[in-house]
Amino acid sequence: MLVLVLGLGFFHAASLLTYTATLNSELSAQDNVRLAERLVAIRNALKAAPSIERETLAHQMSGGPVDAHWGQRALAVETPADSSAKAPLKKLMTSLVPELTRERLLVGTSPPLPNGAIDPHLTMVSVGLGDGTWANVSVVNSGHLHGSTTSIAMATTLMAIGVMVATWLLVRWSTQPLGALANAAQHFSGSALSPSLSETGPNEVREAAIAFNGMQRRIRSLIQDRALSLAAISHDLKTPLARLRFRIEDLSDQDLKQSIADDIGEMEEMINGTIAFLRGEASPEEPRPLQLRAILENICFDHADRGHAVSLSGSGKGVLHGQSSDLKRAFSNLIQNALKYGDIARVSITDAPGRVEVVIEDDGPGIPSEQLIAVFTPFYRVDQSRGRETGGVGLGLTVAYRVVTAHEGTIKLTNLTPRGLRVVVTLPLAPTVQAAHSS
Amino acid sequence: MMQKSQQNSSVVPGDTGATQVLVVDDDRSLQQLVAKFLRSNGYQVLTAQDGREMHEYLRRARVDLIVLDVMLPGASGIQLLRELRKNSAVPIVMLTAQGHETDRILGLELGADDYLSKPFNPRELLARIRSVLRRTSASGTGANSGGARHVTFEGWRVDTLRRELSNPDGVSIDLSTSEYDLLQAFLNAPQRVLTREQLLDAARNRIATGFDRSIDVQVSRLRRKIDGDGDGTDDTTSRIKTIRGQGYMFMPEVIKT
B47 and B124 in a single domain? The answer is yes
Q: Is residue B203 a part of any domain in this protein?
A: yes
Mean pLDDT over residues A302-319, rounded? 90
Amino acid at A319: V
- Does the CB of A258 have a partner CB in chain B at under 8 Å? no
In chain B, which residues have pLDDT < 70?
1-16, 98-101, 138-147, 203-213, 228-235
B62 and B177 in a single domain? The answer is no
Distances (CA, A) of A388 to A33, A364, B23: 99, 12, 43
In this complex, do B30 and A302 lie within 8 Å of one another by their Cβ atoms? no
| Residues carrying CATH 1.10.287.130, chain A | 186-282
pLDDT at A291: 95
- Dihedral (Cα; B245, B249, B251, B257), 10-degree rounding: -170
B131 and B164 in a single domain? The answer is no
- Give residue A96's region: left, alpha or beta (phi > 0; psi -120 to 50): alpha
Q: For A194-218, how does the pLDDT look when each residue is reduced to its tens digit (9 = 90+)? A: 667 777 777 877 888 888 888 888 8
Helix ranges (H only) for B41-76 are 51-60
DSSP A250: G
Q: For B57-101, how does the pLDDT look when each residue is reduced to its tens digit (9 = 90+)? A: 999 889 999 999 988 888 888 889 999 988 888 999 999 876 666
Q: Tell me the C-alpha distance between B248 and B193, whole Å.
A: 5
Q: For A327-345, how does the pLDDT look when each residue is reduced to its tens digit (9 = 90+)? A: 998 999 999 999 988 899 9
- Give residue B194's region: left, alpha or beta (phi > 0; psi -120 to 50): beta
| Residues carrying CATH 3.30.565.10, chain A | 286-438
| Residue A46 binned pLDDT confidence (cut-offs 50, 70, 90) | confident
CB count within 10 Å of CB B157 equals 17
pLDDT at A411: 95
Query: Helices B177-188 and B196-203 meet at what angle, rounded to 10?
Result: 130
Q: Is residue B140 a part of any domain in this protein?
A: yes
Measured between CA atoms, how close is A277 to chain B, in angstroms? 13
CA A16 to chain centre: 29
CATH of A186-282, one of 3.90.76.10, 1.10.645.10, 1.10.287.130, 3.20.20.70: 1.10.287.130
Q: Is residue B80 a part of any domain in this protein?
A: yes
Q: Tell me the C-alpha distance between A365 and A382, whole Å.
A: 11
CATH assignment of the domain containing B171: 1.10.10.10
End-to-end alpha-carbon separation of chain B, Å?
A: 42
Where does a domain end: B130, B145, B160?
B145
> Which of A228, A233, A234, A235 has the highest number of chain B CBs within 10 A, making it the mutation to test binding with B?
A235
Number of cross-chain residue pairs from A and B with Cβ atoms under 8 Å apart: 103
| Residues carrying CATH 3.30.450, chain A | 2-147
Provide the ipTM.
0.76
B106 and B59 in a single domain? The answer is yes
Q: Is residue B2 a part of any domain in this protein?
A: no
Q: Of the candidates A243, A298, A325, which has its C-beta nearest B30's C-beta?
A: A243
In this complex, do A328 and B120 lie within 8 Å of one another by their Cβ atoms? no
B174 and B160 in a single domain? The answer is yes
B198 and B168 in a single domain? The answer is yes
CB count within 10 Å of CB A431 equals 11
pLDDT at B196: 85
B163 and B81 in a single domain? The answer is no
> Which of B166, B172, B225 has the highest number of chain A CBs within 10 A, making it the mutation to test binding with A?
B172
In this complex, do B225 and A247 lie within 8 Å of one another by their Cβ atoms? no
- Dihedral (Cα; A197, A199, A201, A203), 10-degree rounding: 130
Contacts of B33 in chain A (CB under 8 A): 243, 246-247
Where does a domain end: B121, B145, B169?
B145
- Looking at domain A286-438, its CATH architecture is 2-Layer Sandwich (3.30)
Q: Could you tell me which CATH class the domain A2-147 is placed in?
A: alpha beta
Q: For A247-284, how does the pLDDT look when each residue is reduced to its tens digit (9 = 90+)? A: 998 888 888 988 898 888 888 887 887 777 776 655 66
In this complex, do A246 and B122 lie within 8 Å of one another by their Cβ atoms? yes
pLDDT at A203: 80
> Which helix (DSSP H) or strand (DSSP E) does residue B111 occupy?
none
pLDDT at A434: 46
B132 and B177 in a single domain? The answer is no
Instruction: Kindly write down the DSSP assignment for every residue of A364-428, as one continuous string.
Output: S----GGGTTGGGSTT--S-TTTS----S-S-HHHHHHHHHHHTT-EEEEEE-SSS-EEEEEEEE
CATH assignment of the domain containing B61: 3.40.50.2300
Those residues with Cβ within 8 angstroms of residue B142's Cβ, 6 or more apart along the chain or in another chain: B89, B90, B91, B92, B111, B113, B136
DSSP B161: T
Instruction: Please give the residue of chain A at the shortest CA–CA distance from B32.
Output: A243
> Which of A229, A245, A283, A303 has the highest number of chain B CBs within 10 A, making it the mutation to test binding with B?
A245
- Does the CB of A320 have a partner CB in chain B at under 8 Å? no
Instruction: Enter the pTM of the model.
Output: 0.60
Measured between CA atoms, how close is B137 to chain A, in angstroms? 28
> Into how many domains does chain B fold?
2
B112 and B29 in a single domain? The answer is yes
Q: Is residue B5 a part of any domain in this protein?
A: no
Domain holding B72, by residue range, is 14-145
B42 and B133 in a single domain? The answer is yes
Query: Parallel, antiparallel, or unpaired: how do β-strands B20-24 and B65-69 relate?
Result: parallel
Contacts of B71 in chain A (CB under 8 A): 235
Where does a domain end: B98, B122, B145?
B145
Q: Is residue B6 a part of any domain in this protein?
A: no
B46 and B76 in a single domain? The answer is yes
pLDDT at B231: 57
Question: For all residues of chain A together, what is the average pLDDT?
Answer: 81
In this complex, do B209 and A305 lie within 8 Å of one another by their Cβ atoms? yes
